[in-house]
Chain A
Amino acid sequence: QSALTQPASVSGSPGQSITISCTGPSSDFSEYSYVSWYQHHPGKAPKLLIYEVSNRPSGVSNRFSGSISGNTASLTISGLQADDEADYYCSSYTSRGTCVFGTGTQVTVV
């Protein structure tokens, strides 16, 4: 299955807001309620930020928020901080019921 499409990189200044998009064919968002977002620092395990499009797990900052419109899901990081510098991935289901990840976005805090 093809990966979901994300921008390769997004940058922002401390305190700013940035948005990362995640786009796939309609068939890859067949279950529109099931999009997750992860933060991945090199050498560490990925961390779940958002599940079911817009829900935050306990302990995740409310600076992270998720939404969806059509076949594009989005992750917004507000009040950008130095520690937000990491790789970010979306995931969803395919029409076969398998999981698919986005291509990944490197976030740089400049």
Chain B
Amino acid sequence: EVQLVQSGAEVKLPGTTVKISCEVSGNTFRDSYIHWVKQAPGKGLEWMALIDPGDGERIFAERFQGRVTLTAVTSTGTAYMQLSGLTSDDTAVYYCATPIVDGQSSLPAHWGQGTLVTVSS
């Protein structure tokens, strides 16, 4: 069974940086993309970016390009998403997700429990 466990809630000051972790088990970490998805309060799901742990390829949604840093440590099966220059608009729940194991699609399938990031002065 694929499981994704994310780090705990964070409270951050405006202008600072947050780093969220996502530990993946139950699949071949190197062979599976890691997606990052944002859900702001009262809003829908918004895709942010993905990383391929196998070759380090990263793809970003345009509006997050330049503020999001993605890393993946294959030895521990853990991915990280760092978001810089935080504003109140970044207050949201952030999810990591991986594709389905027994399919061709690379879209999100298995999800972490979400990490609440609150940006407040």
Contact = CB atoms under 8 A, between A and B. Distances in A.
Interface SS, A side: strand
Interface of A: 1, 3, 33-34, 36, 38, 40, 45-48, 51-52, 55, 57, 87, 89, 91-93, 96-104
27 contacts: A1-B62, A3-B44, A33-B104, A34-B104, A36-B107, A36-B109, A38-B45, A40-B45, A45-B114, A46-B95, A48-B108, A48-B111, A51-B100, A52-B104, A55-B103, A57-B109, A87-B44, A89-B45, A91-B107, A99-B35, A99-B47, A99-B108, A101-B44, A101-B47, A102-B44, A104-B44, A104-B45
B112 interface: yes
Nearest to A46: B111
Given A45-B113, A46-B95, A51 B107 contact: yes
Contact of A98 (B59, B104, B111): B59
Contacts of A92: 107
